[in-house]
Amino acid sequence: MLGILGLNADGEEMYRAMLQQPGKGVVELAESLGWSVERTRTAMDALAQLALVQGGDTSGRGMMLVNPSVGLSSLLTQEEAQLARRAEEIANGRRAVNELISAYNEWSHVHRGVDIERLTGLDEIRMRLKELTYDCRSDLVGFAPGGPQTDDNRSAARPLDKELIERGVHMRTLYLHSARSDAATAEHLDWLVSIGARIRTTATLPMRMIIFDRQTAMVPLNPEDSAAGAVVLHGRGLVDALYALFEHVWQQATPHGTAPGVDPATGLTSQARAVLSLLAQGNTDEAVARKLGISVRTSRRITAELMERLGARSRFQAGVIAGEQGWLQGARNRAGAGAQT
């Protein structure tokens, strides 16, 4: 325990032995400790160097113990001073590292044209979303997965969406088909269309995403867990790729107010085809429900109906059989194919 002060285990044990056997010499102490004379003398020398013993003859007799509050306290004070100096050095080093990181980020932003902001916590995300919305001037597109939208999400989005439309921003948003089944969400989508926004729905969406003026995008850190935070991306390369993804999904989606079509070749809705595709990938009922924005009970019902129709004995087999029969390739959504772009 006292090693930090320079007193090893032998020295500490020797000190305690001398407390119990005052006046004993090196030979007698060695016998009581079961040590060699050489080891005992080395331990006593260590005590002397730390000024914890003094006096005595060559045999070690007559050595007097020094009160540790005198010797060790001063050593402890010295160690504390050294630790304080070391802590200050570390703090200075941390400041230097942070300055270097800041300089690198500034260089990266200027020379690479890419900047990434990391956001944590719903409050921080909403605050940044308000700032980006305020700066948006011409075009806003986004994915809104999760099926029915929560009261908080709708309440937070409504004033921002209204302000965008009134400012002349062209707004397009993709929701899941399952959002239609929730009365409050369906009413919100009706309201968006009434003020000039363009809304479509699709069976699945890869993640939550918003793109502002084709220059800045906000996406989740973890598509499977939006609570983990979000990142804001700046830079045409990354944002253009995300915008292309949006356009691809938008072209195949169904305009709000139009019933999702059924593939005449298979009799499948896009939602049923999405269930089969997810089953073929090995997703559980819970994962399928989360990705489609439906309840687990509904997911299981759709799966059971598809398994019965395909004569499959397991969920995974249903996906495999559907793939073999060409059901997963699917035709383009007939209702969305001829819709406005």
Residue in this structure with the two tokens 């090196």, named with its chain if needed: 26
The CATH superfamily assigned to 119-255 is Endonuclease Chain A (3.30.870.10)
pLDDT for res 224: 75
Same fold yes or no, 119-255 and 270-337: no
DSSP E strands, the chain: 53-54, 64-65, 115-119, 139-144, 170-176, 198-202, 209-212, 216-220, 230-234, 254-255
- What is the CATH code for 270-337? 1.10.10.10
pLDDT tens sequence across 140-197: 999 998 888 888 888 888 888 998 999 999 999 999 998 888 899 999 999 999 999 9
Domain boundaries, the chain: 3-66, 119-255, 270-337
Residues of the chain with pLDDT under 70: 1-6, 54-60, 62, 68-76, 78-80, 97, 100-114, 226, 329-341
- Predicted TM-score (pTM) of this structure: 0.58
Structure-token pair, residue 299: 């997911």
Question: Terminal CA-to-CA distance of the chain, rounded, Å?
Answer: 75
Instruction: State which amino acid sits at residue 4.
Output: I
- pLDDT at residue 223, rounded to an integer: 76
Q: In one letter, which amino acid is 266?
A: T
What would the CATH number be for the domain defined by 3-66? 1.10.10.10
| Separation of alpha carbons 194 and 188, rounded Å | 10
Model confidence over 117-150: pLDDT tens digits? 888 888 888 888 888 988 899 999 999 988 888 8
Q: At how many degrees (to 10) do helices 37-49 and 9-20 cross?
A: 90
Among the listed residues 218, 207, 246, 10, the one whose alpha carbon sits nearest the alpha carbon of residue 119: 218
